[in-house]
């Protein structure tokens, strides 16, 4: 007898029963059954290459504390999967069981991302990275194919070069028939001056290639290929190890805010790099990061542009300083210490500025901003933000009184089932609906969160995304 049928209706199922629309989960997780997956890796990569594949933080565990203090390895995630609830642990691993239990979660359709596979597009070794992505994608396509009416897995797309991204995009979409892609959100590249003297420079000295600004490569062919293939790029890369998130002892210290940091960096690069200007049809999703940082970024960009647009830069042009007046005021109000220093220094009083190229004064030139509304129109429609069910900050996305120019941000429901954030899968939809019960958002906002926004994201480049699924009719009605 199936264990999933042995319990009564959950609170999430009860919430779903009251709704007049489906619930689309844009970021659940499958937990890979490693013995089967490793067989796929061996088939794709060969036994020698496959033997180098690892998904854990084994190096940290092999070190003494003295070695950790000396080499500063990041404390890796540990005990990151729910285990006390054995049924849920198995549900995240076996598609048939998840498909059978989906109604208990209150979810009608789920987009599923990998777990160990989140780090695969960041493997340093080129051949192992590409082979592992290919193996993961083939594995997930095979095990989820039978359940495509309610479940669809995301393909892993490496981004170390545009060509490897293009190769895997073509294979995942055209050969495997996958319709969701998870691209690497950044690439750690060695700093050339350091790499000459270090065997593994990206461990300690690196810069982040965010593909859209100051990159080593032109990634426009990748964005164009996404549009051609009808897939919306989504990003689920880690920011652990960046900046202050480098504790050698505390996983929680490293974890809190790290997806937001990674999402903010890439989103900002894509905007300032003009990607949304050049590719207005492109829709991108930043996952498991919440929406708080997005509201702050959107607001900050408008505030910064209003001060530092091309015309506004004249307020800061050193050539506009009245040096005679400044000198006179310094004599009158600066006191003896200032007056004694005025003579013999020419104009080198530390009040000037650098000589800048007149053609490089507009940091907004790539995205062509002429008015604040341009920022809204190039940011709000193009970006979607994965928000976990229990995050009260989700309400910010719908607060048109606080967001500039009356904007609403595209928050999308992300259950995170399969990971430690969700010890009970049957509570996620109920937790998300608590925003309505607490008066933080309206029922219409909730509909956008769990249905309308996800539906528009996934059909933005592929109108047939939900064809043949359990939500096909509801999505067609919405879009009509």
DSSP string, 270-339: HHHTTHHHH-TT--EEE-SS-SHHHHHHHHHHHHHHHHHSTTGGGGG-GGG--HHHHHHHHHHHSHHHHH
Bridge pairing between strands 206-209 and 187-190: antiparallel
Is the pLDDT score of 5 beyond 90? no
Answer for the pair 167, 221: CB distance below 8 angstroms, yes or no.
no
Please report, to the nearest 10 degrees, the dihedral formed by the alpha carbons of residues 131, 133, 138, 141 taken in order: 180
Is the pLDDT score of 7 beyond 60? no
* E-state strands within 327-464: 383-388, 410-414
**Nearest of 12, 80, 24 to residue 419 by alpha carbon:** 80
Residue 347: per-residue pLDDT: 59
Q: How far does the chain reach from its first CA to its final CA, in angstroms?
A: 42
Residue 147 tokens, joined: 């359940």
Distance, CA of 471 to chain centre: 25
Which contacts qualify for 440-448: CB closer than 8 Å, 24 or more apart?
Answer: 440/392, 440/395, 441/394, 441/395, 441/398, 442/398, 445/395, 445/398, 447/19, 447/21, 448/398, 448/408, 448/411
1 band by pLDDT with thresholds 50, 70 and 90: very low
**Nearest of 409, 412, 476 to residue 446 by alpha carbon:** 412
Is the pLDDT score of 480 beyond 80? yes
pLDDT digits (tens, 9 = 90+) for 184-204: 999 999 888 776 776 666 567
Between 243 and 472, the more confident residue is 472
170 band by pLDDT with thresholds 50, 70 and 90: very high
Residue 55: per-residue pLDDT: 66
For residue 58, the SS3 value is helix
Residue 349: per-residue pLDDT: 65
Q: Provide the whole-model pTM.
A: 0.93
pLDDT digits (tens, 9 = 90+) for 349-385: 666 677 889 889 999 999 999 999 999 999 999 999 9
Average pLDDT over residues 285-299: 97
**409 phi and psi angles, rounded to 5 deg:** -95, 150
Lowest mean pLDDT among 71-75, 391-395, 459-463, 466-470: 71-75
Computed over every residue of the chain, the mean pLDDT equals 93
**Nearest of 308, 301, 170, 184 to residue 234 by alpha carbon:** 184
Give dist(CA 386, CA 308) in Å, integer: 30
Q: Residue 196 CB: number of other CB atoms within 10 A?
A: 9
Average pLDDT over residues 278-292: 97
Buried b (16+ CB within 10 A) or exposed e, 48-79: ebbeebebeeeebeeeeeeebeeeebbbbbee
- Report domain extents, the chain: 21-307+372-479, 312-360
* Conformation bin of residue 214: beta by default, left when phi > 0, alpha when psi is -120 to 50: left
Average pLDDT over residues 145-149: 98
Q: Residue 405 CB: number of other CB atoms within 10 A?
A: 14
User: In the CATH scheme, what is the code of domain 21-307+372-479?
Assistant: 3.20.20.140
């Amino acid at each position: 007898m199936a264990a999933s049928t042995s319990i009564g209706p959950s609170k999430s199922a009860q919430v779903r029963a009251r709704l007049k629309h489906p619930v689309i989960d844009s970021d659940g997780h499958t937990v890979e059954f490693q013995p089967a997956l490793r067989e796929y890796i061996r088939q794709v990569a060969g036994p020698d290459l496959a033997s180098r594949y690892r998904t854990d933080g084994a190096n940290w565990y092999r070190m003494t504390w003295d070695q950790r203090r000396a080499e500063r390895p990041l404390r890796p995630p540990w005990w990151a999967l729910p285990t006390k609830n054995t049924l849920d642990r198995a549900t995240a691993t076996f598609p048939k069981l998840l498909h059978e239990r989906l109604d208990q979660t209150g979810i009608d359709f789920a987009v599923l991302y990998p777990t160990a596979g989140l780090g695969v597009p960041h493997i340093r070794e080129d051949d192992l990275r590409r082979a592992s992505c290919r193996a993961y994608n083939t594995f997930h396509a095979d095990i989820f194919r039978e359940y495509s009416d309610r479940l669809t897995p995301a393909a892993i797309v490496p981004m170390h070069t545009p060509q490897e991204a293009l190769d895997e995009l073509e294979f995942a979409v055209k050969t495997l028939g996958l319709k969701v892609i998870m691209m690497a959100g950044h690439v750690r590249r060695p700093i050339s001056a350091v790499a000459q003297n270090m065997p593994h420079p990206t461990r300690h000295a690196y810069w982040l290639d965010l593909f859209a600004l100051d990159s080593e490569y032109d990634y426009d062919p990748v964005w164009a290929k996404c549009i051609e293939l009808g897939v919306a790029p989504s990003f689920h890369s880690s920011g652990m190890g960046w900046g202050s998130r480098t504790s050698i002892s505390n996983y929680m210290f490293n974890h809190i805010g790290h997806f937001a940091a990674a999402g903010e960096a890439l989103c900002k690069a894509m905007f300032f790099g003009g990607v949304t200007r050049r590719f207005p049809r492109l829709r991108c999703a930043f996952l498991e990061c919440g929406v708080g940082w997005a509201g702050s970024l959107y607001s900050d960009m408008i505030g910064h542009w209003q001060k530092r647009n091309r015309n506004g830069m004249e307020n800061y042009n050193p050539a506009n300083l009245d040096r005679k007046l400044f000198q006179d005021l310094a004599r009158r109000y600066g006191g003896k210490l200032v007056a004694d220093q005025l003579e013999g220094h020419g104009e080198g009083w530390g009040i000037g500025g650098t000589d800048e190229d007149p053609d490089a004064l507009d940091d907004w030139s790539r995205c062509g901003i002429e008015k604040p509304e341009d920022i809204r129109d190039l940011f709000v429609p193009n970006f979607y933000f994965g928000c976990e069910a229990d995050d009260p900050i989700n309400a910010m996305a719908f607060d048109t009184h606080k967001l500039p120019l009356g904007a609403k941000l595209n928050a999308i429901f992300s259950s995170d089932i399969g990971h430690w954030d969700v010890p009970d899968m049957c509570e996620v939809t109920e937790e998300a609906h608590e925003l309505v019960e607490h008066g933080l958002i309206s029922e219409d906002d909730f509909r956008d969160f769990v249905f309308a926004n996800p539906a528009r994201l996934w059909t933005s480049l592929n109108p047939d995304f939900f064809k043949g699924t359990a939500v096909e009719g509801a999505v067609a009605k919405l879009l009509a």
